[in-house]
Structures are given as C-alpha cells and as structure tokens.
Structure 1
Amino acid sequence: MISYFRSILPSRLILLVIIYLAIQLPLILLRATPTAPELQHMLVGERLADGFSMYRDVYDNTAPLSAMVFWILDLVAGRSFMIYRITAVVLLLLQAILLNSTLNRHNVYASKNYLPALIYLVLGSLSFEFNMLTPLLLGNTFIILSLPYIITLSKEGFDNNRLFVGGFILGLAALCYLPLAMFLLVGIFAVILFASNTFRSFLLMLCGFGFPYAVLMTYFFYNSALSEFLEMHLFRPWQLQVAFLRPPADVAKLMAIPAIIAILSFMSASSLPQRLVFQVRFQQVMWVWLVVSLLMIFTRDEITVATFILVLPPIAYFSEFLFTSGQKKWILNSIFLITLAGVILLRYRSVLDINRYLALDESPLVLTETPETPLKNNTVLVLGQDLGYYVHNKPVTPYFNWQISQRYFRDLNEYQAVFEIHEAFRREMPNYLIDKAKLMPELKYKLPSIFGKYEQVPGDTALYRLK
C-alpha cells in the first residue's frame, strides 16, 4: 500500500482524500461532540456579528485574525459545531496538501511522492481535538504556507521580496495565535542557511512580519481600542511551565503512535547517505521547526492533544525517510497498517465501546449543559467559569470570558473598575445573571442603580432575574 503513494499521479491524491474523509466524516456527521473552547469561539463570533468591536466591546484574548474567521462563520452558519468541525477538517487537508506540494516542488526528497501528506492526514485523524477549529489550527495553516518563502535561495537584489512575503505570512500566523511568533526562529535559521546577505534578508523578513501588526494597530487606534488590543493580545503573559488541560497520561496514550513514528523516522533519516546540499539544509530547518514546536507546546498554559498539531509537519517530513528506507516492503506496509488501525481504534473508541479499557477522560474539554435552570433563548451573563448557560442563550456585555473579566470584578474597590462595569451594563443589561462568584451582594451595594434591578429567583441562590 505504501508503494502506491510513492507517485504523484492524480489518482494517488484522490485516494488520499478518500481515506482521510472516510476516517473523519462519519463521526463528525453523526456526533459532533460540543466542546467548551469551540463554544467560547462561537460567542466571540456572535458578538462580532452583532456589530460589536473586538477588544473594545468584546473582552477576550482571541487573536484578531482568528476572531475574524469566527465572525465570518457566525454570519454564514450561526452557532454550528458541525460547521466548525468541517472547516477544521478542510484546513487540515489543506495543510497536508500545501506541505506535500512544497516538499515536491523543491525536490526535498530523492523522488516526488504523497507519503508526507498521507502520514499527516492519518496522524491528524488521531483525535477529535485535531478537528476543533482553534486559533492554533488556523495559525498552523499560515506557518506551513510560509515555508516555501523562507527557504528561498536568495541572491543580492534577486527575488528578495519572497522573504518579505514569508515574514508577512508569519505575521498573519501570529495574528491567529500570538505564540506562533516563535516561528520567526525557524525563519531566522532558514535565512542563515539559504540567504546570501543574512542581515538584510532578516530585516526584510522582520519588516514583513511587522507589517500586518502595523496595519492592525492603526485600525484599533482609530477604533479607540489600541490599549485593549495591546493588553489582551500583544502583551499576553507567557507561561514557562507545563500545565496540562487533560491528564498527562491521556495525552501520552494518544500521542504514543505519532511518537513511535517520529522515532523510527528520525533513525531512518540519520542513516541516510550524503545528499544534496539543499536537502541537508532543508532537513536542518525541519529539525529547528521540531524544536520550536516542542518549545511552544510545553510553554502553553493549557497543554492538550490539540497543541501537538504543531509537530505534525516535521513528523510528516521525516516519515518519508522511514517509508522509503531499504526495509522490506512487507515491514513498511505492516508499520503503516498498524498505525492506521491504531488511529481508527483510538478515534472510534467510544463507538466500539473500548474506551473503558483505554480509560481516556475527555471531560475537561467536552461541554456539558448546565441542568440547574430551564433558561433558553434569553440574554444571560455568567459571573464565573460555567459556559454551559450559554449553550441555548445569548451573552451580553463584554464580560462573558470570565478569565479576562476577573480583572474588573476583583478590583471593585477601584473607582475605574466600578465605573467601567457601570458603563457596560448601562449599554446592555442581560435578562438573567448567574452569580457563580458570589459577587451580587457587593455589586448591589456599590452599583444599586444597575444591579438593584435584579431579583433573586426562588429556589436558586445563584440566579438573578431582571425585574
């Protein structure tokens, strides 16, 4: 089977897409599991579609380009987990084809083939987390798109604009997910290896990276939201410690197959004979890509399987050396078939009722509707972390992201914080307030003209209704 994809005939690409969709679509069409991160993104898109401005009227640290994508999706389909998943499936397919096309066009291997795309899509089907439409997935598309521009063999005064374009695309990736700015390190290393005038080429790429930020900062300046943009996006805190959103054991179980493929691929790559200078340099760039990806993964505030999307491109690149090595065909086919079977078993573990043996816990991600109240089709605001109330209700005021909003509600002794809350509620008042943080007594005392209009609903101490 592996030998079939050692060609670039159109039939190979068609079969590749069929295999990928056959793994992905049944679960997405039959049961698109709602998750809290996706609902958070939907709320951002919904607020923007209602005419509110990011960062000025929507307090959320979603990067601006990702917020624009969520806004467009809300305009097109509203709240739809299926549309989000299908969009993510298309993006993953696009990433694999873009990466494979770059590798073939630049003759990175001894022969052109579809093996990197095959491995990328198979490993990308490992978990439903890779099908969550996240800012990281959006940004990873731009990272792959920048690759052919940053490995340009540039000469002085010849085609240097490609480095500017490469930097510009990296800037767009950072505008999807700020930590992806770390991939400038990959660009710098590529400039050192491929460019003739290193310093000038680096400045070109850096100017390209900064250009979209300059345009966006100008927009937010005239929109009276520059300080909020700087605070919520550009000056986000960088957390240099490992913090797992899902249990580390679960992440290790799910990533065991990619890890084994990666180790075998690295061993195969290291045993290769001397190759062309360009191919050696490109491999060095991919090593740096892998290191930067791992550095990014293990400095995030929430590590989960979805963050490992960053290592799929280098693993897919190195896997070609494994599946074109001098091993016997039946060994290579067995490795691939075992990988494919393992991915299918892990992906369909709930349908096949084998999760009780694997003991994988998805509860930190899966969204559970809050059963306490029969609220539906109302405007609500939750003072706390529970997003379940927003499943069938509409958020109002900028404070639906409690992680960001706490900086206002925890400083109620400060006049500025109380004034901003007053102004936000004067423009919009939800029909219901859910006080999970037990702040209503203090809010009623300090802002009676606003919160005095709410009365407690009998039988629920946390639920307040607008009179």
Structure 2
Amino acid sequence: MISYFRSILPSRLILLVLIYLGIQLPLIIWGIPATTPELLHMLVGERLADGFSMYKGVYDNTAPLSAMVFWVIDLMAGRSFLVYRFTAMVLLLLQAIIFNSTLNHHKVYASNNYLPALIYLVLGSLSFEFDMLTPLLIGNTFVILSLPYIITLSREGFDNNRLFVGGFMLGLAAMSYLPLAMFLIVGLFAVIFFSSNTFRSFMLMFCGFLFPYAMLMTYYFYTGALSEFITLHLLRPWQLQVDFLRPPADVAKLMAIPAVILVLSLLSASSLPQRLVFQVKFQQVMWVWLLTSLLIIFTRDEISVATFTLALPPIAYFSEFFFYSGRKLWILNTVFLVALAGVLVLRYRLVLGLNKYLLLDESPLLLDPDNKVPIQNSTVLVLGNDIRYYTHNKPVTPYLNWELAQRHFGKLGEYKAVFDIYENFRKEMPAYLIDKEGLLPELTYKLPAVFGRYEQTEYPDIYKLK
C-alpha cells in the first residue's frame, strides 16, 4: 500500500480522499456527539448573527476571524453540529492536500509522492476532536498556507512581496487563534535559513503579520470596542494556566500512535545521507515547526487531543523519511497497516464495544443528551458554568463566557462593574435567570430596578421575569 502512494498520479489522490471519507463518513451517519466547545462557538455565531459585535456585545475570547466563520455558518445553517463537522472535515482534507502539494512543488524529497498527505489524514482521523471546528483548526490552515511564502529564496528587491504575503497569512492565523502568532518563530528561522538580508526580510514579513491587525484595530477603534478587543483577545490567551480538558492518560493513549510514528521518522531522518542544500534547510525549518507546535500545545490553558492538530504537519513531513527508507517494503506496509488498524480501533471503539478495555472518557467534552432542562425555546442567562441551559435556548446579554463575566459579576463591590451590568441588562432582559452562583440576592439589593423584576420558579435556582 505504501508503494502505491509513492506517485502523484490523480488516481492516488482520489484513493486518498476515499480512504479519508471511508473513515469519517460512517461515524457521521452513525451519529455526531454534541460537544461543549462546539456549542460555545455556535452561541458566538448566533450572537453575531443577531447583530451584536464581538467583544462589545459578546464577552468571549474567540479570535475575530474564527468568530466570523461561526457567524457565517450561523447565517447559512444555524446551530448545526453536522455542518460544523463537515466544515472541519473539509478543512483537514485541504490542509493535507495543500501541505503535500507544497512539499512536492518545492522538491523537498527525492521524488514527489502522496505519503505525507496519507499520514496526515490517517492520523487526523484518530479522534472526533480533530473533526471539531475549532479556532485552532481554522488558524492551522493559514499557517500551512504561509509555508510556501516563508521559505522563499529571497533576492534583494525580487521576492519581497512573497515574504509580506507569508507574514500576512501568519497574521490571519493569529486572528483565528492568537497563540499561533508564535509561528513567527518559524518565519524568523526560515528567513535566517533562506534569505540574503535577514533583518530586512524578517521586518517585511513582520509588517505583513501586523497589517491585518492594523486594519482590525482601526475598525474596533471607530466602533468603540478597542479596549475590549485588547483585553479579551490580545491579552487573554497568555494567562499560561495549563489544564487538561480530558484526563492526561486518555490524551496519552490517543496520541501514542502519532508519537511512535514521529519517533521512528526522526530516527530515520537522522540517518539520511547528505542531500541538497535546500532540502537540508527545509528540514531545519520543520524541526523549528515541530518544537513551536509542542510549545504552543503544552502552554495552553485547555489541552486536549484537538490541540495536537498543530503537530500533524511536521509528523507528516518527517514520516516520509521512514516510509520511503531503504527498509523492506513488507516492514513498512506492516507498520502502516498496524497504525491504520490502531486508528480505526480507537475511532470506532464505542461502535465496536471496545471502550471497556481502552477506558477512554470523553464526557468532559460532551453535552449530556439525557440531562434535560426545564426551560425550552426561551431567552436565558446562566450565572455560572452550566452551559447545558443554552442547548435549546437563546443567550442574551454579552455574558456568554462565565469566566470572562467575572470582570463584572466577580467585582460587585465596585461601582463601575455594577453600572456595566445595569447597562447591559437595560438593553436586554432574559426571560429566565439561572443562578448557579447564588448572586441574585446581592444583585437584587444593588440593582432592584433590574433584578427585582425576577421571581423564583418552582426550581430553586431558576428565576423568571415577571
């Protein structure tokens, strides 16, 4: 099977797509699990579709370009987990094809082939988390698009526009998921390895990076939301409070197959004979890419399998050195088939009833379908982290993210915070308040004109607008 993809005939690409769809589509037909992160993204898109602006009418740290994607999806399909999964599938497929095409176009290997795309898509099918439409997945697409521009063999006054475009793509990646701005490190090393004028070339790329942010900050300045944009987008993702969304043991089990392939590939790459200068420099760039990806992954406040999407390009690149090595073909095929079988077992473990042996817990990410709430098809605000109340209801007021809402609700002793709450509720009044934090007595005392209009229902933590 490995030898079949050592070619760039159109039939190889068609089979590649069919393998990917063959792994993914049966699970979509079987049923898509609803997840908390995707619901949050849908709520952001819904608020934007209702005419509210990001960071001013929606208190959330979703990056602006990703928020625009969620807004467009809400305009076209509303709340649809199916559309989100299909969009994520298409993005992952495009990433693999674009990345592989870049490698072939620049003659990174001794011969052109589709092996990197094959490994990319197989490993990208390892978990349903890779099929979630996340800001990181959106941003990773722009990082891959920047690759052919940042490895330009720059000559004075000749390829300057390419470096600017490469920086612009990295700027769009950061506008999708801000920590991806750290890929400027990859751009810096690419400039060092490939360009004749390092400082001038990097500044040109850096200007390209800043250009979309300059336009965006100008927009937020004129709309009066610049301070909120700086607070919620530019400063928020650098809190460095590392936490796992899923048990670390589960993440380790799921990422064992990519880790083994990466180790085998790196060992094979280290034993290669001398190659062309460009190929050696490109490999050095991919080393920096790998280290930067791991740095971003392990410094995030929410680490899950989905964050390892960043590591797929370098793993796919280095895998070529193992699967195209001089080892006997039956050994390479056996390793690939074992990896493919492992991916299928992990992905279909629930359908096959194998999870009792693997003991993987996905519940921290999933919305409980059996946990019904007594409110349906109404407007609500949850004072707390219980997001399930938004599943069949519409959120109102900017306080979508409870952690960020602490800027106001966590400072009820400050006049400014209480006044901001009053201003937001004066514009929108939810039909129901779900008080999970026991804040309503204090809020009623300090803002009786707003919260005095709510009366308790038969449920102790649910209050209805009179």
TM bracket (short chain): over 0.9
Asked whether the 8 Å contact 1:129–1:305 carries over to 2, the reply is yes
Give the drift of 1:242.
3.8
SS at match of 2:463: strand
Residue pair 1:453, 1:466 contacting (<8 A) in 2 also: yes
Q: Deviations over 1:166-215 (max 9, x none)?
A: 00000000000000000000000000000001110011000000000000
Task: Give the TM-score of the pair, scaled to structure 2.
Answer: 0.99
TM-score for the superposition, normalised by structure 1: 0.99
Q: Which amino acid aligns with 1:175?
A: M
Aligned residue number for residue 352 of structure 1: 352
Cα separation, 2, equivalents of 1:433 and 1:119? 49
Distance 1:57 1:370 in 2: 32
Question: What is the distance in 2 between the residues matched to 1:400 and 1:235?
Answer: 18
* Stretch moving more, 238-247 or 89-98: 238-247
Matches of 2:288 and 2:187 in 1, distance apart?
A: 10
What amino acid sits opposite 2:277 in the alignment?
V
Q: SS at the partner of 2:382?
A: strand
Alignment of 1:299-338 (within 5 A): 299-338=299-338
Q: Give the structure 2 partner of residue 280 of structure 1.
A: 280
The Cα of 1:124 is off from its aligned counterpart by 0.1
Q: Which residue of 2 aligns with 1:26?
A: 26
**1:455 alignment partner in structure 2:** 455
Equivalent in the alignment of 1:165: 165
Question: What SS does the aligned partner of 1:381 have?
Answer: strand
Rounded to whole Å, the distance in 2 between the matches of 1:374 and 1:157 is: 66
Check if 1:117 corresponds to 2:100: no
Shift of 1:237: 4.6
Q: What is the CA-CA distance between 1:373 and the residue it aligns to?
A: 3.5
Q: Which runs of 5+ in 1 are unaligned?
A: none
Is 1:221 the counterpart of 2:218? The answer is no
State the match for 1:88 in structure 2. 88
Measured after TM superposition, the shift of residue 103 of structure 1 is: 0.1
1:30 CA displacement: 2.3
Contact 2:178 2:237 in 1 (8 A): no
Q: Secondary structure at the match of 1:461?
A: coil
Q: Alignment length, in residue pairs?
A: 466
Mark the CA change 1:203 to 1:40 in structure 2 (over 3 Å): closer, same or farther.
Answer: same
Residues 1:144 and 2:144 aligned together: yes
Q: CA RMSD in A?
A: 0.9
- The one-letter code sitting in structure 2 at the alignment partner of 1:61 is N
Contact 2:143 2:170 in 1 (8 A): yes
Q: Is the 8 A contact 1:369 1:391 kept in 2?
A: no
Q: For 2:20 and 2:3, how far apart are their aligned partners in 1?
A: 18
4+ residue stretches of structure 1 with deviation over 3 A? 239-242, 369-373
1:465 aligned residue:
464
Change (3 A) 1:115 1:373: closer
Tell me, in whole angstroms, the C-alpha distance in 2 between the residues paired with 1:66 and 1:185. 22
CA distance, structure 2, for counterparts of residue 383 and residue 6 of structure 1: 56
- 3-state secondary structure, aligned to 2:155: coil
Question: Equivalent residues in 2 for 1:39-438 (5 A)?
Answer: 39-240=39-240, 242-368=242-368, 371=371, 373-438=373-438
CA change 1:336–1:371 in 2 (3 A) is closer
Quick check: 1:29–1:82 contact (8 Å CA) kept in 2? Answer: no
- Secondary structure of the residue aligned to 2:318 is helix
Give 1:400 deviation, angstroms. 1.8
Provide Cα deviations, 1:278-330, integer angstroms capped at 9, x if missing partner: 00000000000000000011100011100000110000000011111011110
Deviations 1:346-402 (A, max 9, x none): 000000000010000001101125846421100000000011000000000001210
Q: Is the 8 A contact 1:370 1:389 kept in 2?
A: no
**Contact 2:139-2:174 within 8 A present in 1 as well:** yes
AA aligned to 1:408 is: H
Deviates more, 1:423-432 or 1:367-376: 367-376
The alpha carbon displacement at 1:244 in A equals 1.3
Q: Which amino acid aligns with 2:411?
A: D
Q: Distance in 2 between matches of 1:114 and 1:263?
A: 20
**What is the deviation of 1:238?**
1.8
Per-residue deviation, residues 127-173 of structure 1 (Å, max 9, x unmatched): 00000000000000000000000000011111111000000000000
Three-state SS of the structure 2 residue aligned to 1:232 is helix
| 8 A Cα contact 1:100 1:114, kept in partner | yes
Give me the whole-angstrom Cα distance separating, in 2, the residues matched to 1:256 and 1:108: 27
Q: Is the 8 A contact 1:250 1:361 kept in 2?
A: yes
Q: 1:398-435: CA deviations, max 9, x gaps?
A: 01210110111011111111111111111110110000
1:326 & 1:132 partners in 2: Cα distance? 37
| Contact 1:239–1:299 under 8 Å retained in 2 | no
| Greater CA drift, 273-282 or 20-29 | 20-29
Say if 2:179 and 2:237, in contact at 8 Å, map to a contact too: no
